[in-house]
Amino acid sequence: MAERNSMSMQGRLTGVQDVIGQSLNAAKSGKIQAREEKWRTSSATFHDHARRDRDAAEKRLETELGRQRALLIKIAEANGIDLDDDEIGNRDDREASLGAQLTAEFNMETNKKGDAARGF
């Protein structure tokens, strides 16, 4: 009888230990998931802010470039240099094309870095 009670107690103890182990594993898993979610959220927020900052900087640069271009045209005209509208337009097209190319290269590099970071 005592042996049966001992075995019953041992079985209950094993069951309790299993439940405690499962609870600990679930708690650890929950902490890991929460940490990963927090990292993903902060990473997304960081990249969103960085994108907004880049967009704002690009607009400021475009505005400043426009001012400088207008000033250069005025200086050229004041010095007797006649600039055709076609010539000015061609420059705009070349600069827009170069800007698009640089933006595409920057985005490609950013994506590569993002892919490499996710790979780890």
**Range from 25-39, 79-93, 96-110 carrying the lowest mean pLDDT:** 79-93
Quote the pLDDT of residue 117: 73
Half-sphere exposure of 2 (CA within 13 A, CB side): 0
Half-sphere exposure of 6 (CA within 13 A, CB side): 3
**pTM greater than 0.75:** no
Question: Over pLDDT 90: what percentage of the chain?
Answer: 18
Cβ-based burial of 107 (10 A; exposed 0-12, middle 13-18, buried ≥19): exposed
- Give me Rg for the CA atoms of the chain: 33
- Is the predicted pLDDT of residue 96 greater than 80, yes or no? no
Band of pLDDT at residue 88, cut at 50, 70 and 90:
low
Under a CB-based contact definition with an 8 Å cutoff, are residues 83 and 73 in contact? Answer: yes
When pLDDT is averaged across residues 87-104 and rounded to a whole number, the result is 70
Domains of the chain: which residue ranges? Answer: 1-64
Specify the DSSP class assigned to residue 120. -
